[in-house]
Amino acid sequence: MTEERLHLTTDDQHDIGIHYWPATGEKSLGALVWLHGMAEHGGRYGALAGHLNQLGWHLYCPDHRGHGLSINDKTPKGHFADAHGWECVINDACRVIEWVRERHSQQSCVLGGHSMGSFIALGTAEQVGDKLDGLILCGSDYHPGLYYRMMQLPIRMVRMKNGKRGISGLLHKMTFGTWAKQVVDPSTDFDWLSADPQQVKLYIEDDLCGFDCTTETWLQLVQGLRQVHSVAQLSDLPETLPVLLVGGEADPMSNMGKGMMALENVLHAMEQPVEAHFWPEGRHEILNDLCRDEVQGVIASWLGKRVA
């Protein structure tokens, strides 16, 4: 298994860094574009690549603006953009899909994402779902619009105080800090990510993980969530686009899995073809948790049904 690092330039001259693991099987079946979560990067998905590559699937993991290979002076660590950040990351994902489609024109193309990446993946599918053969949402969440409107209030206050590129201890306490407290007898502040101590250690020791995002990024994210979870935008998903939901029932970010189950119910109500798998002991990063082999197996099996 070999990781390559590719670069793709967008219309606004942003350089998207992409982690790429080519398929190693006898026959190439398709490409999975995977969007990482907040305060991490695409290079962490080598284990998923190792499992899928041998089955004939290419894996592309682009780094969002302000993350991993996509950190620069214009988009410093944890910062999408000074304005229109959500629109930028959605457009970036759409550009990657278009580019991957060109590289694998006769094969399947599936989009997936973890946590924040699942929200960006959903927003992307609402725009270019006709170019996809499937959508995977991992460690995701769902709330009605009123929840996101209320969330914007404290974010706007700290943005006014600290600036668009500033960070906030209050926002950290409301999010990562709150989720950390829901784990009984934790050894670290990041045990809410996984029950595997080694995986938590790797995350903590990675300089490109665990940082605080800017106030503007948080505001753009919450505003984006309100959009992608609205009935109007969910209705933009192609009616026949298959959706796979995978998550943990011990994930504090999604209220112990209830957020993902709520998303499943909404998609079912809209008659979207959806398949869901939840692991009772799984925490937030189920691809790095003790259940990861089972999760990889479910994803691989589902992808097998998406072969063009």
Provide the pLDDT for residue 258.
98
User: What digits encode the pLDDT tens for the residues 169-184?
Assistant: 999 999 999 999 999 9
This prediction's pTM: 0.98
Distance CA 153, CA 230 (A): 19
User: What digits encode the pLDDT tens for the residues 191-212?
Assistant: 999 999 999 999 999 999 999 9
pLDDT of 308 > 80? The answer is no
Residue 179 in tokens: 């989720």
Contact 167, 212 (CB under 8 A): yes
52-68: average pLDDT: 97
Provide the pLDDT for residue 27.
85
Provide the pLDDT for residue 5.
97
Helices (H), 141-291: 145-162, 169-172, 178-180, 197-205, 215-228, 231-234, 258-269
User: How does DSSP classify residue 74?
Assistant: S
Distance CA 253, CA 179 (A): 6
Walk me through the domains of the chain, giving residue ranges and CATH numbers: 4-142+230-305 (3.40.50.1820)
pLDDT of 25 > 80? The answer is no
pLDDT of 26 > 90? The answer is no
Distance CA 245, CA 112 (A): 10
Bridge partners (DSSP) listed for residue 5: 19
Backbone φ and ψ for 110, nearest 5 degrees, come out as: -120, 140
Give me the half-sphere count of Cα atoms (radius 13 Å) on the Cβ side of residue 118.
22
158-171: average pLDDT: 97
